[in-house]
Each structure stands twice: as C-alpha cells, then as structure tokens.
Amino acid sequence: MGREIIWQIESNYALVSCINNGRGIIVEKEIAPKDVNITNISWVNEVSIFFREKLSKLGVPLASPYLCFEKDGKAIQQSPYVGLDIEKIFQGGKAELLIIEKMLTAMKGVLEQKTPEVGIDARLSNFCIGPNNEIYYVDTFPPLVKYGEKYIVHFPNPTNQKTIQEELKRKFDPMGILRRFRFAILEQNVGFTENDILCCIHNALGYELAAKAKNFFTTFLDHLEVNDAFDQLNLNDPDGIRELALKLIPSNGDRKIFLKEIFNLSSNFCPYNLTKKERMDKIKILMQAQICV
C-alpha cells in the first residue's frame, strides 16, 4: 500500500505531513528545506536527537519512536501521530483548565532546572493530546538546548550574543517560558483569564512558582493603561509588544492576521527586510489603528 498524505502544513522550520503509510498514521517533517543542505544535515539530526534525550530525562512526554534520517539531501524526522494539537482543541470549543494544568505538568522538569540547559517553546500548537488524554510535546525542532559549549536558540542559530541572551530569557528561563505560555492561552480568546492561568500554575507546580509568576506578570505592558504602555514599546521586549497587541485587538476575523503581523515585526528573527525603526513604526501604526477603533 502506498503513502497517503492526510494533511500537510508548512511552517518556518519544516514541511510537516501527516501520512498513512499502510502500517499506521505518522507525522513526517522535512526540516527547514530552505536552510538544510549537505553541509548541515547530520548536525541537524544529531542536535535534534540530543535535545529529545535531554527533554526525556526531564520528564517531558514525547512521541516515540522518533526517527531521524537523511533522504535525497533532506533531513527527515518521523514519529507516530499522537493526536490533535491543543490549539486546534481550544479552537474547536473544548478548552479546559485541566488541559492547561497537564501541559504545565509536562513542562515541570524544564521549569525546575537549577541551571537551565534545556528550553521549551510553550505554544499550544506544540503540544498534542493522545487518545487516553496524555499530553505530548511534539515540536522538537528547532532544538532549544545547550549543545557542547553553545546554546541553540533558533535555526539558523544567531551569532549575536545579545540576541542569544534575549532568547535564553524567553525560552529557557522559567519565567520567560511561563510568560510565553500565558500569551499562548490568552491569544485563544476562549474566556480564560490571567488568574485562571495562575491557578493552574499553582495546582501543577506549587505555590512558590505561582507566586513568582504572579509578581512577574504584573510587570507586563498589558497591565498598564494603553497610552502609558504604548510609550514603552521597544523591540528589546517582543513579548511586551505582542501582549499589548493582544489587549487591543477585538474579537473579530482580523484578529489572527493582525497578531501574525505583529509577531513577525516584533520577532528577533523578523522575516522582513526592514530596519528596526521601520519595524517599530509599522508596529505603532498597526496598534494606533486599534486604539482609534
């Protein structure tokens, strides 16, 4: 029996295909087609395996078995299909606080590292729920890990140390991870509040981390009056930009398009050929349009 493609998604880092190969349903990723070549295929797969081993040791549940191999000059990674991603579940009207608690429990080992050497990207689409309601972390590329003496924070990995340090704060530091997790939940617009998220952190991770998160969350721009927050917008704080944008955007059909544009413009890895000033000007124009609505 041949391979039947059930669905296919192209992301910034991979061409992802869900395939019925005649023996079962698998997910196959062609890693970063624009950036992977014969000079780095082996490295891409080696670091991916290393990252997964580190995550597993920290108790993060992963789809298994996971195969990494080279094919026709491409880096291919395969795993079993384990279920719908949580963003789709939330968008399908089945959002539950218990799911949030399970996701936090899945990340517990990463969040409790004394010296963070393993990061995690806590977007809802990076987690899936299996048939028995198990949680799996499924987005293990690009790796977020200390590999040798170097931290891998992106692919291709930045060489600018300032950018690397900013990404470490966002993706390796427990408060940075929880900040991105908070945004990922509020972005879904399913009725959950910051207090709901803090209760989940308390239930899954304990009082101390929840109290620290609560104090940290109060420092965000979306806790300020809009005009005061607007004056503090800065590309050194991409999460602050996105959080304020989320506060401004109404619940309509333009929401996703608006947030995606803000995300791209504020990213340390902005895909547009713009200066920092041009990016900031565009962000302010987009936000001012929402303030004036």
pLDDT in tens, 29-58: 999 888 888 889 999 999 999 999 999 999
Across the range 75-100, mean pLDDT stands at 96
pLDDT in tens, 118-176: 999 999 999 999 988 999 999 899 999 999 999 999 999 999 999 999 999 999 999 99
Entry pTM = 0.93
Residue 35 burial by CB count (10 A; 0-12/13-18/19+): exposed, middle or buried? middle
pLDDT at 1 exceeding the cut of 60: no
Token pair 């395969």 is at which residue? 78
Residue 137: CB atoms within 10 Å: 21
pLDDT of residue 12: 78
Measured CA to CA, the distance from residue 273 to residue 275 in angstroms comes to 7
Confidence of residue 293 (pLDDT cuts 50, 70, 90): low
Sketch the domain layout of the chain as residue ranges.
4-80, 220-293
Q: Which residues contact 208 (CB under 8 A, 6 or more apart)?
A: none
Residue 65: asked if its preceding bond is cis (omega within 30°), the reply is yes
Q: Which residues contact 276 (CB under 8 A, 6 or more apart)?
A: 235
Burial 196-208 (b: 16+ CB within 10 A, else e): ebbbbbbebbeee
pLDDT in tens, 254-287: 788 899 999 999 999 999 999 999 999 999 999 9
Q: Does domain 4-80 have CATH number 3.20.20.80?
A: no
